[in-house]
Each structure stands twice: as structure tokens, then as C-alpha cells.
Amino acid sequence: MYVSRDSGASSPADRLATAAVNDQADLFRDMYPRLRRFAAACSSPAVDPDDLVQEALARTLSVHALDELREPEAYLRSAIMNLVRTGARRVRHRAESIEREQFTTDGYPSDMHSLLAGLAPEERAVMFLVEVESFTYAEAGRQLRITPRRVKYLLTCGRARLRAGQQRESNQ
């Protein structure tokens, strides 16, 4: 008996392709909240973290399917960092034009937003992964595709910058 495609029946290849797309969507849906928090922590306030995640996903899917990657979340974090690094050069002039008052919180003794914005994107990424997500240096290094030694260095530099900024605030 001949079954036409118009009758709603699909071939095994079509069903397999649909299942693969659904698996990738489920995989991304699971990773999305963590990737968005990461993008927000690494980028400047002038950049929408959703845009970074979407662009990283689009660039990744143009080359690989998510289920082809050994560590898709690490790959996407690395893609986000690359976008932050290149985008930081493009949006620096816009970020500098934003009023400082937008980032202060009334009654809060420290302006953490401006202190964190003073860190390099890679330092913010490492601070987020180690301090907020509780990653080890090795895990953070794998996520960012850098060595654990570089993670430790960036964390040390970032903490020193934050301390110096807090001391400047307390002296004012």
C-alpha cells in the first residue's frame, strides 16, 4: 500500500531528524538559565545577556549540532566569552555614556555594579564561575578553555581590583 506524505505520515528519517532537533532543544533549555547568568556576569550592563546567548548559540549551530559536542555548555560559555571580548571593544563607547546613577542602589554602602564593571570580562567570568557557581579552578578553566593557573591568576587580579575599589570608596 502506498502512503503519501500529504496524509501526515512521515518517513523514519524525518522522525529521526525531528527527535534530534527536540533533543537539542531540551539540552539548550536545560543550559539556558546558567548560560544567561554567565553572560550577564561577564558582559557590561549595556549588553543584553539574552542577545549574547542567542548569538553564541547561532554561531555554534552554524558549525556543530549541540549533541555533537563533548561539552556543549563549556563550548557555549567559550563562545559567549569570545563575543564579550570582541563586543566589549565595539560597545565601550556606549557603556561609558551610561550615567553612573543608573547602577547605584540607595542606602547600599558600596557601588558593586561599577566595581564589577571595572573588571575585565575574563575576570568577571572567572569570579562568577568560582565565587557564584562554586566551580573549582580546573572546572572553570575547562568552561573558559584556559588553564587552572590562568583561572587562579585572573581570580587574584579580580579580587585585588575589587579590594582596591572598595578601599577607594571607604576613603571618600
Within-domain flag for 163: yes
- The pLDDT tens digits for 110-140 are 466 777 878 888 999 999 999 888 999 999 9
Residue 153: predicted pLDDT: 96
More confident residue, 115 or 80: 80
Domains contained in the chain, number: 2
> Which residues span the domain enclosing 117?
110-172
Confidence of residue 4 (pLDDT cuts 50, 70, 90): very low
Sequence-distant contacts of 133-137: CB under 8 A, at least 24 apart: 133/34, 133/38
Please state, for a pLDDT cut of 70, what percent of the chain lies above it.
Answer: 73
Cell of 92: 565601550
What distance in Å separates the CA atoms of residue 95 and residue 16, rounded to the nearest whole number?
A: 46
**pTM for this predicted structure:** 0.66
Within-domain flag for 8: no
Residue 77: predicted pLDDT: 93
- Ordered alpha helix ranges (H), the chain: 12-42, 49-61, 72-97, 112-117, 121-127, 137-144, 148-171
What 8-state DSSP symbol labels residue 162?
H
Residue 10: predicted pLDDT: 62
User: At residue 13, what is the residue type?
Assistant: A
- Single residue among 46, 76, 102 that ends a domain in this structure: 102
Q: State whether 36 and 85 are in the same domain.
A: yes
Q: Under 8 Å CB-to-CB from 135, ≥6 apart: which residues?
A: 129, 143
Core vs surface per residue 29-42: b (16+ CB within 10 A) or e: eebeeebbebbbbb
Q: State whether 78 and 123 are in the same domain.
A: no
Confidence of residue 14 (pLDDT cuts 50, 70, 90): low
